[in-house]
Every structure is written in structure tokens, then in C-alpha cells.
């Protein structure tokens, strides 16, 4: 059965969004040469396979839940064994949902779905809006994800987005600057270690610039936290992929004003194990909480969303071609 695709356009740039999972499959910018920034699924077969969770909307949690179990307000929830035979509860509950379009214009689109799962405390409506814009010679794709609690009681929600950015120029010349003081240490299942052992000082952090430099971009599946941010009603976090060509792709994320070691992470995955185009792009992810947040005491007072309330996250990718 064919899966619907939708295209939004602006001044020669365009993005294609697939209804399955509401994922971006391409984002093409036109100058100085046509460049497809997003390395998304390249065919319906790849969409069906879902290898790598390309451009995945991560809701109502991001990354993994240890042993696919968590306890919330005295009740244990168990997601069991996944299709891969592992207990990891990977990347939430909407990866295989077919979203419905609720609003659309030439340069923006909104899609929605509802999570109703007996293994989750409350039903949640997930809404995703993609919008194209331009700014001073750069091209922007803004992604706004929200989780609205439809239930009669509170529920945990932690959102994330999982885009893959294609390298412009040689990967060996690319590097990332990330506003993080800390790297999160994990076990062999990629679950953060217990307590304070999970947080290790990031040696390359420069307190003057507020940035750490990550290079080479090889064999990474790593979260960075304790983010530096501009403060206001919302914190604004900016990380940058510096391409080998001289182009840049900024990731600009909004977060609650409270940003700490457990709330607000930037995850880098270099994709060597992928089935398709292994190592050809960087998964450049912002997530509101660290992996296994629903089982972490550091996150317990931050994950609640009350009945009728909404948690929202905005991530904007800004691509600036070389020479600009």
C-alpha cells in the first residue's frame, strides 16, 4: 500500500514529508548548487524498513527505556520485546503511525496522530509542524513537535527529533561544535550509567566560547548534556555541523528555561551500522531529556505533563552554503 508524501516549497527550496511517522525524507536548498540537506528514507521500501529511524519524530519519549519498563506514579508499564527481539523501547510510539494532515500552506504543513496504548499512562495527541523560511542567504527548516495529554491524569512526555544531515564535502574534514559541558556515559545497551557516573566532563569544552568541538565524526552514538544556552522565557541552544566544504548547518533548539545534565541533550550518531548509506550523514538530534529519562530520578520532576496540558519543542535547522 502506497504511503502519502507531501511537499512544501519556498523560493526554490523544498521539503518532502512522509505521512508514515511524519518524517522529512528530503530538504533541498537551491544555492549556490542544489543540495539535499536531509538524508532521509530514499524509497517506500526504506520507509517500511525504518532502518536508522531517519528524521524520526520521537514521542512520547526519545531514545531508549531500560529493559522496556518504567514505573510512573506507582504503576509499572512494560513494552515487552520489540520487533528486533530486544527489550529497548526505542524512540517512542509514533514511528509506525500514519499521520493525518490538519493544516497546509505552500511553505508549511501540520500533521497529527493520537497515541492510545494500554502500556502508556494516558492518551497523547502528537502534532508536528514543518515550515520553510530563508534568512540572510541561509535556508531554514523549522520543526515544531507537541505532545498534548488527552487523559484525565498526568503523564510523562519527553520529545525529540532525529534528522540525518548529509555531509557537504569530505566527512573527514567535518566537525561539530556543541554547547555542552558533559558527555553521557552508557553501558553496552546504550543506557546511561546509574547516578552521577553517567556524567563525565567533556574535555574539549571551552568556557570562553561555551562550546566543545567534536572531531573526528566517526563511531559516535553519544549524547552531550549540561548545555550552555541563552536564557529567557525559553532557553535557546545552538550547535553547528561545520561541513568539509565550508558550509554550515546549525541546529537551534528551544528548551524549558531549566537546562541541566539530564534535561536537554544533543545526540550525535555517525551511522556506521546503518543498512543504507552507512556513515554518509550525521544524525544530529535534540531531545528534551536524556535516554531512560522515565527511570531517572534527575528527570522525575520535569517529565510530568498534566491533564489537558501540552509539551512543545521547536528545532530549526539553518543551512548556510559555503561562501556565504
178-193: pLDDT as tens digits: 999 999 999 999 999 9
Name the percent of the chain lying above pLDDT 70: 95
Provide the greatest CA pair distance for the chain.
57
Res 235: pLDDT: 75
- Could you say which DSSP state residue 195 is in? G
Place of cell 512522509: 18
pLDDT higher than 70, residue 77? yes
Res 270: pLDDT: 98
The three cell numbers locating residue 319? 543551512
For residue 242, give the 3-state DSSP assignment.
strand
Res 157: pLDDT: 96
pLDDT higher than 70, residue 80? yes
- Could you say which DSSP state residue 301 is in? T
Q: How many CA atoms lie within 13 A of 182 on its CB side?
A: 21
Q: What is the pLDDT of residues 224-263, one digit of tens each?
A: 998 876 655 567 899 999 999 999 999 999 866 555 678 8
- Could you say which DSSP state residue 44 is in? H
Res 83: pLDDT: 76
pLDDT higher than 90, residue 85? no
**How many whole angstroms separate alpha carbon 143 and alpha carbon 109?**
10
Q: With 0-12 CB in 10 A as exposed, 13-18 as middle and 19+ as buried, what is 75?
A: exposed
Per-residue confidence band for 301, with pLDDT thresholds at 50, 70 and 90: confident
Q: What is the pTM of this model?
A: 0.95
pLDDT higher than 60, residue 110? yes
Q: What is the pLDDT of residues 254-268, one digit of tens each?
A: 866 555 678 889 999
For residue 67, give the 3-state DSSP assignment.
helix
Q: What does each C-alpha distance from 215 to 206, 243, 277 come to in angstroms?
A: 15, 12, 20
Residue 267's DSSP bridge partners are: 223, 285
CA 121 vs. chain centroid, Å, equals 23
**How many whole angstroms separate alpha carbon 259 and alpha carbon 142?**
21
Contact 320, 248 (CB under 8 A): yes
pLDDT higher than 60, residue 71? yes
**How many whole angstroms separate alpha carbon 227 and alpha carbon 91?**
22
Place of cell 571551552: 206
For residue 280, give the 3-state DSSP assignment.
coil
**How many whole angstroms separate alpha carbon 250 and alpha carbon 131?**
16
Res 324: pLDDT: 66
Helix (H) or strand (E) holding 45, with range, is: helix 44-49
Sign of CA dihedral 4, 38, 265, 315: negative
Amino acid at each position: 500500500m502506497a504511503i502519502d508524501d507531501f511537499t512544501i516549497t519556498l523560493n526554490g527550496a523544498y521539503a518532502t514529508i512522509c505521512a508514515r511517522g511524519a518524517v522529512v525524507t528530503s530538504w533541498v536548498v537551491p544555492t549556490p548548487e542544489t543540495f539535499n540537506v536531509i538524508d532521509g528514507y530514499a524509497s517506500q521500501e526504506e520507509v517500511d524498513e525504518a532502518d536508522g529511524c531517519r528524521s524520526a519524530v520521537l514521542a512520547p519519549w526519545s531514545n531508549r527505556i531500560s529493559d522496556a519498563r518504567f514505573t510512573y506514579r506507582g504503576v509499572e508499564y512494560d513494552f515487552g520485546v520489540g520487533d528486533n527481539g530486544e527489550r529497548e523501547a526505542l524512540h517512542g510510539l509514533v514511528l509506525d503511525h500514519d499521520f493525518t494532515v490538519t493544516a497546509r500552506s505552500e511553505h508549511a504543513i501540520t500533521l497529527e496522530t493520537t497515541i492510545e496504548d494500554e502500556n502508556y499512562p494516558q492518551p497523547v495527541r502528537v502534532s508536528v509542524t514543518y515550515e520553510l523560511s530563508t534568512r540572510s542567504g541561509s535556508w531554514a527548516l523549522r520543526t515544531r513537535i507537541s505532545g498534548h495529554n488527552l487523559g484525565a491524569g498526568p503523564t510523562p512526555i519527553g520529545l525529540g527529533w532525529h534528522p540525518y544531515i548529509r555531509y557537504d564535502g569530505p566527512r573527514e574534514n567535518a566537525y561539530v561544535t556543541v554547547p555542552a559541558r558533559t558527555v553521557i556515559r552508557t553501558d553496552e545497551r546504550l543506557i546511561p550509567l546509574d547516578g552521577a557516573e553517567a556524567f563525565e566532563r567533556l574535555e574539549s569544552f571551552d568556557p570562553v566560547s561555551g562550546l566543545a568541538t567534536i572531531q573526528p565524526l566517526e563511531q559516535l552514538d553519544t549524547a552531550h548534556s549540561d548545555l550552555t544556552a541563552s536564557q529567557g522565557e525559553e532557553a535557546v541552544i545552538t550547535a553547528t555541523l561545520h561541513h568539509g566544504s565550508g558550509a554550515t548547518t546549525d541546529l537551534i533548539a528551544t528548551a524549558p528555561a531549566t537546562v541541566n545534565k539530564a534535561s536537554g541533550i544533543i545526540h550525535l550518531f555517525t551511522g556506521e551500522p546503518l543498512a543504507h548509506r552507512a556513515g554518509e550523514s550525521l544524525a544530529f538530534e535534540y531531545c528534551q531529556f536524556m535516554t531512560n529519562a522515565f527511570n531517572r530520578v534527575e528527570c522525575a520532576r520535569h517529565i510530568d505533563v498534566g491533564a489537558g496540558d501540552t509539551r512543545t519543542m521547536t528545532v530549526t535547522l539553518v543551512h548556510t552554503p559555503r561562501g556565504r
